[in-house]
Amino acid sequence: MKENRLNTFLTWSLVAAVFLLPTFFAPYFINPLINSKLLLVLVITLLTSAVFIISSLQKKSWELIKTPFTLPLLAFAVLVVVSSLISHQYPSKQFLGLGGAYLGFALVVLLAPSLLEGRFKKWLVYAFNSAAILLSTLSILQLFGLGLAPLINRLSVLDLPNSLAFSLSGATFVGIQFLSVVLIANVFDQKAWKASVFNKVTTVMIAIALGINIWSILPGGEARFQSLSLSGSAAIAKDSLTFTKNALFGYGPDSYGNAYNILKPIWINGFNYWKFTFDSAFNFPLTVIVSLGLIAFIVYLFFLWQVVKTVKQSDEENIFLKTLIFAGLVWQFLAPVNLVMLAILGIALAFFIRDNQEHYQKLNFSVHHLSDFFNRGKAQARNYVFLISNGLLLAGLVLVLYFTGKTFVAYHLLYKSNASVSKNEIAMAYDYHKQAKNLAPELDFVRRSYSLINLQIAIALSNKADITPAEQEQVLQLVNQAIREAKAATVLDPANYQNWSVLAQIYVQLSGTTEQAKQEAFNALARAATYNPNDPEIRLALGQLFFNSEKYSEAITFFDQAIERKPDLFVAHYYMARAFLANKQLTEARSSLINSLNLAPKDSEEYKAIEKELNALVTEIESLNKAKEDGVSLDKLPAAITEPVNEASSSGLSELLDEKDTEAVIQDGALSSDQSLVEN
């Protein structure tokens, strides 16, 4: 393939990517709104890198265009890699998530400009506007209930809302960002706007659709958007600097959610989004300081400053790209990180550098430059060194492509597993899950998901009235596998509290059989509480565990901790009342039931049940007070007060498995946290 054709191919690919990034949606992956965009970003990155390496082999040199922001961007990319490696023993998820997107952004800006064809500038503008027209048209149609969601739902097992809440861009708020930057770029590019009917029509349609989408995200709107507040983001960023390692290199590029759960201020429990785990801060810089560390934060701010200064000084002929870049940078301070805007900004910067390349220095690392240090004057040796270097880069690229491909096949298999569950084809769903786990064993959420399906099938079998010996043996194997997979998830990402919660859930199911299961459940919940200290539901689970073990004082302590973290959680007050009753503290139980009743949703089934229990308790207390002088014992309380508060503890597993079998399963599954557990 000739060099100019190779460059033309990459240029057309990036132009197409501009159109596809906000419009491409593949429903056949798990979490399709995110993974569709992530797949496209990674494909763009791999394609750009491949074209650069092949082109370098043809020219026998590496050519780059050096701008004032080249070095800070390169430093940022290096820090992404360092953060991924330092923060996680198994960093695959970091590189296959936002870490990969950050690296892709850097590689496109660094490598693509020297390869792009300048004559495609007008097609880039058409691509932006065409994508904006498509999104605008769909938004206008959706206003009248004529969106794509019903069609996608028929072609898949998804249940997308037929409203403005669904957008091909991934989220309505992302669509607003994209439409706004294209609209502003069109308006400021007056020369093109006046000369083109296409631009005028596009601008009007975008303005209408933008208004519709903004209206839909307002409070009470069908597409209302919830992000972490600026104050919450700032508090988490400040607390992330407490420990030196996290302060310097962050929690990992794809681990903002872990940091959020660890550092979440307790006052966030007072908002309606208290259960959410945010994967990004209020804006991009605050996300960087937590996920990548203080050094990367400073480097990125320096990169932004250099970009603004460089773009501002460029020719007025690039007004569309200049305006679009400035608008994209402004959004980085006003919105959470999203793949669409990050990738579009990278492509826009690449084309901008290409259009202004005469103003910048061209770096050329030829065969001679590379090999003279090792073997001066020997041309053949120089060629070998260069070929080997590019060969290693190409081999690395193929390896990245292999792992990326495996991961997205695993995402597709998880989708097929969900589809099988919806058809009640449980055996097939299990097989798909197992295949996904074998393809992507380094991803903790895949192992966690596989653990849960093992547990669910085991529970379903154990609840059968006529279970056979073979099925009982299968239950043992499933429980064993569930424990092993949950343990593997905790090894892959020990800072993710969900992994520990799933492990605890398995042990709780076995806690009615052996004390060892109760201890393991407590240990797992304690670790979950370490990585999400202000989550009241973990404290509730700990309280339930002690209640079911008839350790009522300890249960009261944990229920009290749950209330301390979220005073308006009515179920915490209810469980506290149950513990007080079991501990024969009737007055305290009545107060807790009153608190629970006042907080429970009116006219709900829970409200009616609590009210009934409160009335019965008040009657009981009055009767006891009247009969106290006659020597009535407090032991005559209703037996129901000591019933388990956690139904999971009395599941079919506890009834099916004896103590010996359960301890054997626990011992076999509770292997050490080592490499073999992850790989097997």
Measured between alpha carbons, how far is 219 from 230 in angstroms, rounded to an integer? 18
Measured between alpha carbons, how far is 488 from 676 in angstroms, rounded to an integer? 9
Measured between alpha carbons, how far is 296 from 277 in angstroms, rounded to an integer? 23
Q: Which two tokens stand for residue 420?
A: 């099988």
366 has which bridge partners?
Answer: 61
Q: Which two tokens stand for residue 355?
A: 């259009």
Element (H, E) at 400: helix 379-422
Measured between alpha carbons, how far is 364 from 304 in angstroms, rounded to an integer? 25
Contact by Cβ (8 Å): 568, 599 = yes
Which residues are CB-neighbours of 142 under 8 A, at least 6 positions away? Answer: 162, 163, 164, 166
Task: Give the model's pLDDT for residue 657.
Answer: 66
Q: Is 66 helix (H, G, I), strand (E, B) or coil?
A: strand
Domains of the chain, earliest start first: 3-229+311-379 (no CATH), 443-679 (1.25.40.10)
What is the end-to-end Cα distance of the chain in Å, rounded?
A: 43
Measured between alpha carbons, how far is 523 from 517 in angstroms, rounded to an integer? 10
Q: Which two tokens stand for residue 458?
A: 């085991």
DSSP symbols for 241-263: TSSHHHHHH-S-TT-HHHHHHHH
Q: Which two tokens stand for residue 365?
A: 């690392």
pLDDT tens, residue by residue, 371-430:
454 445 455 555 666 677 778 888 889 999 999 999 999 999 999 999 999 899 999 999
365 has which bridge partners?
Answer: 62
Selection from 259, 248, 228 nearest residue 531 by Cα = 259
Measured between alpha carbons, how far is 345 from 338 in angstroms, rounded to an integer? 11
Beta carbons within 10 angstroms of residue 171's beta carbon: 19
pLDDT tens, residue by residue, 209-246:
999 999 999 988 888 888 999 999 999 999 999 988 88
* Confidence tier at 505 by pLDDT (50, 70, 90): very high
DSSP symbols for 309-329: HHHHTS-GGGHHHHHHHHHHH
Element (H, E) at 412: helix 379-422
* Rg of the chain (C-alpha set): 30
Q: Which two tokens stand for residue 263?
A: 């550092």
Q: What dihedral do alpha carbons 365, 367, 368, 374 form, nearest 10°? A: 110
Question: Between the CA of residue 19 and those of 55, 127, 245, 565, what are the distances in Å?
Answer: 25, 5, 40, 46
Selection from 42, 43, 56, 66 nearest residue 7 by Cα = 56
Q: Which two tokens stand for residue 509?
A: 């199911």
Q: Which two tokens stand for residue 377?
A: 């004057």
pLDDT tens, residue by residue, 318-343:
789 999 999 999 999 999 999 999 99
Beta carbons within 10 angstroms of residue 59's beta carbon: 13
Selection from 514, 593, 505 nearest residue 542 by Cα = 505
Highest mean pLDDT of the ranges 51-65, 107-121, 203-217: 203-217
Measured between alpha carbons, how far is 602 from 618 in angstroms, rounded to an integer? 20
Measured between alpha carbons, how far is 7 from 11 in angstroms, rounded to an integer? 6
Q: Token match 């944990």: residue? A: 558
Task: Give the model's pLDDT for residue 403.
Answer: 94
Q: Could you tell me the pTM of the whole model?
A: 0.90
Contact by Cβ (8 Å): 126, 134 = no
Task: Please state, for a pLDDT cut of 90, what percent of the chain lies above it.
Answer: 62
pLDDT tens, residue by residue, 122-136:
899 999 999 999 999
Selection from 105, 82, 457 nearest residue 252 by Cα = 82
Measured between alpha carbons, how far is 37 from 26 in angstroms, rounded to an integer? 9
Task: Give the model's pLDDT for residue 617.
Answer: 87
Selection from 541, 569, 537 nearest residue 555 by Cα = 541
Contact by Cβ (8 Å): 54, 355 = no
pLDDT tens, residue by residue, 416-457:
999 999 899 999 999 999 999 999 999 999 999 999 999 999
Mean pLDDT of 59-65: 84
Task: Give the model's pLDDT for residue 30.
Answer: 92
Measured between alpha carbons, how far is 335 from 177 in angstroms, rounded to an integer? 9
Measured between alpha carbons, how far is 487 from 677 in angstroms, rounded to an integer? 8
Q: Torsions phi, psi of 611, nearest 5?
A: -60, -40
Q: Is 361 helix (H, G, I), strand (E, B) or coil?
A: strand
Contact by Cβ (8 Å): 328, 348 = yes
pLDDT tens, residue by residue, 620-665:
887 887 776 655 454 554 444 445 555 444 566 766 666 666 666 6
Task: Give the model's pLDDT for residue 1.
Answer: 43
Task: Give the model's pLDDT for residue 644.
Answer: 53
* Confidence tier at 190 by pLDDT (50, 70, 90): confident
Distance of CA 647 to the CA centre of its chain: 30
Q: Is 375 helix (H, G, I), strand (E, B) or coil?
A: coil
Structure-model confidence comparison of residues 540 and 668, the more confident one:
540
DSSP letter (8 states) at residue 283: S
Mean pLDDT of 250-260: 95
Measured between alpha carbons, how far is 505 from 486 in angstroms, rounded to an integer? 10
Measured between alpha carbons, how far is 169 from 214 in angstroms, rounded to an integer? 15
Q: What is the mean pLDDT of the chain?
A: 87
Measured between alpha carbons, how far is 677 from 488 in angstroms, rounded to an integer? 6
Contact by Cβ (8 Å): 314, 289 = no
Task: Give the model's pLDDT for residue 341.
Answer: 96
Which residues are CB-neighbours of 568 under 8 A, at least 6 positions away? Answer: 270, 599
Selection from 277, 183, 296, 167 nearest residue 232 by Cα = 277
